[in-house]
Amino acid sequence: MGALLNWDRDDHFAMDHGISGISRKTVEYCGGMVDIGFTSYPVGELLCQFLNYDFADFLTLKRQRDGRISIPAEKVSQLLTGMPYYRDLMAQLEPDRRETCARLFCQYQRGALWQDAEECYLLIENRYQKMILQSVTDRKEKQDLLSFLAALPAGALNSPGLGMSLRVPAVKPEPTFLIRDGGTEPKLAEQYRLTRLSELLYLELIHLLRSGGGIQKCRNCGRYFLPERGYHYRYCDQVAPGESVRTCRDIGAAKTRQSKLEGSAALTIYQRAYKRYYARVLKGQWSKEQFQRWQVQALKVRSEADADHWSGERLEECLHSIAEAVSDSKKNESKIELAFLI
């Protein structure tokens, strides 16, 4: 499928022409996957990696560069080779070629590689992160994402910069269509010839929208992830922070079970109290009006208990306090309404 980077003897990455490390790179989209030559990802995975990447070290070096403070080339090389896309490239190379690549990063760290990284940071910070926060699988919020895109300047969606002014104007990559053997049936593939990472991020977004997929933000660790198609997960399947084995999804499932148990406990206590106090109506100890007054306040208490995860003892005490207020015919309704706060 997609070809590896061009490793010409005298023109590695074509850096001397100010072109980025992804220069002359062919990527191919087919069947929900993107092949970038040295590895393949599900559509949207690389965009997730950039959304999860910590740019703190990059910003530190950027401030030093902007202030014309000398920085060892090896330090910048280490930073760049640890970024998404490039770290997977380095991992796939043989040790000797990895060393060659690292030297090239040192050699060209002042040129297009750095500009490419800076461009990705600006796009992630000012465009993609805001949009992807709204990119979820349910239709209403999906519509919110499209509304966000529609609010961009005219024509912005047709450029990898998405309306942002980039140092070198970006041109929308145009596809070449191919038919690939899909095993049971042929599949349509799209190939693109790229010159910079911002183009790849742009293609990731467009193909993600086309596929109807979305990116979620984990409610436990805050990382972005691709949910399985057809599922609406709120938690990722990565090992949770502070855990050695349990994933965020395991923790989310445990929270859901606990919430249901607490909700069931509140319902059980309310139902038991309902029967007890309705028995007073049957015995003539309460009027139906008194029972209805108790029930109105009891339902409010039960909702409060569910929302704030009250203990069973506290709920029982509140239900009993309401009943005492109802039983005392000398207390007016306003005092009954305050009973559940005790």
The pTM of the whole model exceeds 0.85 = no
For 137, phi then psi, to 5°, come to: -80, -20
Would you put residue 12 in left (φ > 0), alpha (ψ -120 to 50) or beta? beta
Torsion of CA 127, 48, 38, 36, to 10 degrees: -40
Report the alpha-carbon distance of residue 207 to residue 32 in Å, rounded: 8
pLDDT in tens, the chain (342 residues): 332 333 233 234 333 333 345 556 788 999 889 998 888 999 989 999 999 999 999 999 889 988 988 888 788 888 888 889 888 888 887 777 777 777 766 665 456 778 888 888 988 988 888 777 655 544 444 556 677 777 888 888 888 888 887 766 667 888 899 898 767 788 889 999 888 888 899 899 888 888 877 788 898 999 999 887 666 778 999 999 999 899 999 999 888 877 766 667 788 888 899 999 999 999 999 999 999 999 999 999 988 887 777 888 899 999 999 999 988 754 544 444 444 444
Place of tokens 């703190």: 56
Tokens of 8: 């010409």
